[in-house]
Structure 1
């Protein structure tokens, strides 16, 4: 079995609880596999820092229900324990279905995988009302199974007594009690948590989380809950062809570019790619004899000065793209390929300059799932391909693409939802704000590697 850490709303403590559980299991030297529901990049970095094993994203919009089952089953085969962190509040998702379970919500994944929920509640401003909240969540959808409760931010022994008295008639086990404390804090900024690579004090934080887990949870009941059962492996629903010859792909990965789904990297390798990780921040030259670039998302705006000062790398990238090397860039990668990045202090920094536009930081977060149809051929898609992706950024462009890659509309919104165009494509370059998960579409990286294989 496994369990999903869920909550009544965002900010209730799912990530802190999940990391403390993972840190305790890791400290006991168990083999753990973690998962994160939704399109999140940063929470999985924390999971991986703790477990020393890539976290896997479970997202039915970016992939499919069949892929989620296959991904979960495949990756628990060698694990002793497995744990899934939910997203937002339990029923928060895109649009309500008939059974009151919005698609892409934590509740949706719990039903797909038939797993119990460990329900986290922020009790800081609650006493007797906690029972109404728990009763509402546990009875809205009777297909869901609740293994127990984690009471977070409990102020005192008297506060705990009031909570326990209110919850007793519901007969739901309390498996964890976390006292209110200020020592453990995960720093945030404009796109969520600050990534792990920028937190030198993270080892100390993990030690604090281990102590928290030791003192706060009922491990006698939790360990059997997280212990994996080895189901029969699901026959893959997708066939991944292998490229005939190894293709060398340079993948930008450092503090500025860190948003990659592990499944995307795995699929590239399964297709026959040789992945060469390098740093546009710190390396003095690009990797040699490569046949393609992959620039993921991240925080180039936070490192714009350092990126702009690495002139030899900027020139080398520009030269390679100008002669046609296949290049795929998402979000932060797109920003890096612009002429400039204008940061939050309105300072301008020179970037690669292959896209005739500038990226500037705005005040409004652009967030959501999109259904996109390609308007032209690109290194990733033939024209008129329909895909699903996710946007998550605070920047805009001074000039929109004259020949956009996509026409897009928000996923499962009303019929009057506005269609927008977005993305850049010319020669062998594809750059867009849209993040893609290739798990359900191996033909995307297949086409990219085919383009790369003929580049000399």
Structure 2
């Protein structure tokens, strides 16, 4: 079994509570597998930092309901305990486009697809509901009753009361909830809450927080004092008799080396994507665009998302890497870039202070930071071929950025459309013969042919790779 940690709304405290539970279990030297509902990258970084295991994203839009179940079964079967962090409020999901309705479920509620509730139904696991009690007393009973009765197919295993004030406040809350016969599995006091720093795209990633071990120790202590472990542990424990899905089929491989940008500027990667590359024959070579020269003996490049806008000066001043990488890409190095990686490929990046910094100069465009947030799921139809896909391919992705590109003259890679039935296709992404660059973050769980095609492009490049003197 496992538990989904759900919130009554966004910012109810479910991430802090999830991290506290994970910290406690790891302090007890348990093997813990974590999961995150939705397309988030940053929360899973914190999970993985605690558990020493990759967190797995459960997103039926980017993958499929069947993949969500297979992924969960396979990885939960390898752990003592499994914890799933939800997304937003319990019932906050999306309404599928009409051409995606074939993947729906007749039992779904409006705007419920890919919600935490949807995940709980798919996986048949109970929910712990986190309630933000900072402005509540007796009304908490109506909120709890509503969540518990709104969808009777869900099992609410108990509550965690967050941001509770005085002892008198707690007594009022308990008195109001008592007639509902819902267990209170934990109480976090307002003064005891540990705040994690955030900024324009969510929490500050783990690589920028050197004091995290101490924070995790404090979270473990908070969990020890605040939660009813006699009731929580049986709910979190994975059953050894639970059937696990068969491991992924061994894939035919072509040995290649793929450089992957991994540092404070670039760190948005799905664990499943990296494992697929390895299963198709890639050896992943971590590389820091901030401080390291680019390795010349590689056959491909994966530039993930991240925060290049915050480190634009350092990226720009790594002249050795910028010069050699520009030459290699111009000479045919297969390159896959998502969001932040796309920004790095441009002529220049104008940062949050309005200062312009030279980037790689592969794409004739300038990245401009904006206060406007572009957010949502997208369906992209490829208009031209790229190292991952032929023209006409249909893929799904997720956008989440505060930037836009100006003055690109390259052919657009996608016609991209949002979930709204009234959405009109928008041009998006850019492609060269050996470059796939897009704002769309893709999860390859149900499209393994995409990384396979990329590895094949890397193998072709390997066969004719120029020697360093040719690109100097």
TM-score, length-scaled by structure 1: 0.97
- Displacement, 1:53? 1.1
| 1:181 match: secondary structure | helix
Q: Which residue of 1 aligns with 2:263?
A: 254
| 1:423 match: secondary structure | strand
| Superimposed CA distance per residue, residues 319-378 of structure 1 (whole angstroms, 9 cap, x where no aligned partner) | 001011110000000000111110111001111010000101100111100111111111
Question: Is residue 458 of structure 2 the alignment partner of residue 449 of structure 1?
Answer: no
Contact preservation (8 Å) 1:401, 1:422 = no
Contact preservation (8 Å) 2:162, 2:189 = yes
Contact preservation (8 Å) 1:293, 1:327 = yes
Contact preservation (8 Å) 2:90, 2:117 = yes
User: Which runs of 5 or more structure 2 residues have no equivalent in the other structure?
Assistant: 97-105, 466-472
Question: Is residue 84 of structure 2 the alignment partner of residue 84 of structure 1?
Answer: yes
| Superimposed CA distance per residue, residues 30-49 of structure 1 (whole angstroms, 9 cap, x where no aligned partner) | 00000001000000000011
Contact preservation (8 Å) 2:163, 2:193 = no
Contact preservation (8 Å) 2:364, 2:410 = no
- Displacement, 1:233? 2.2
Contact preservation (8 Å) 1:110, 1:117 = yes
Aligned pairs for 1:433-448 within 5 A: 433-448=439-454
Aligned pairs for 1:93-132 within 5 A: 93-95=93-95, 99-100=108-109, 102-132=112-142
Q: Which of 132, 141, 148 is residue 138 of structure 1 equivalent to?
A: 148
Q: Which residue of 1 aligns with 2:278?
A: 269
| 1:406 match: secondary structure | strand
Distance in 2 between residues matched to 1:450 and 1:16, nearest whole Å:
42
Question: Is residue 416 of structure 2 the alignment partner of residue 405 of structure 1?
Answer: no
Q: Which of 325, 329, 333 is residue 321 of structure 1 equivalent to?
A: 329
CA RMSD of aligned residues (A): 1.3
- Displacement, 1:271? 1.0
| Superimposed CA distance per residue, residues 295-336 of structure 1 (whole angstroms, 9 cap, x where no aligned partner) | 000000110001100000001110001011110000000000
| Superimposed CA distance per residue, residues 28-84 of structure 1 (whole angstroms, 9 cap, x where no aligned partner) | 000000000100000000001111111110000000111111111111122000100
Q: Which residue of 2 aligns with 1:337?
A: 345
Distance in 1 between residues matched to 2:83 and 2:312, nearest whole Å:
36
Q: Which residue of 1 aligns with 2:16?
A: 16
Q: Which residue of 2 aligns with 1:179?
A: 189
Distance in 1 between residues matched to 2:250 and 2:379, nearest whole Å:
24
Distance in 2 between residues matched to 1:337 and 1:13, nearest whole Å:
37
Aligned pairs for 1:416-435 within 5 A: 416-435=422-441
| 2:33 match: secondary structure | strand
User: Which runs of 5 or more structure 1 residues have no equivalent in the other structure?
Assistant: none
Distance in 2 between residues matched to 1:213 and 1:98, nearest whole Å:
35
Distance in 2 between residues matched to 1:427 and 1:402, nearest whole Å:
11
Q: Which residue of 1 aligns with 2:58?
A: 58
| 2:309 match: secondary structure | helix
Contact preservation (8 Å) 2:12, 2:162 = yes
Distance in 2 between residues matched to 1:68 and 1:446, nearest whole Å:
21
| 2:89 match: secondary structure | coil
Distance in 2 between residues matched to 1:232 and 1:120, nearest whole Å:
30
Contact preservation (8 Å) 1:177, 1:217 = yes
Q: Which of 245, 248, 265 is residue 234 of structure 1 equivalent to?
A: 245
Contact preservation (8 Å) 1:13, 1:152 = yes
Contact preservation (8 Å) 2:385, 2:433 = no
Distance in 2 between residues matched to 1:379 and 1:211, nearest whole Å:
49
Aligned pairs for 1:140-219 within 5 A: 140-181=150-191, 184-219=194-229
What is the number of equivalent residue pairs in this alignment? Answer: 451
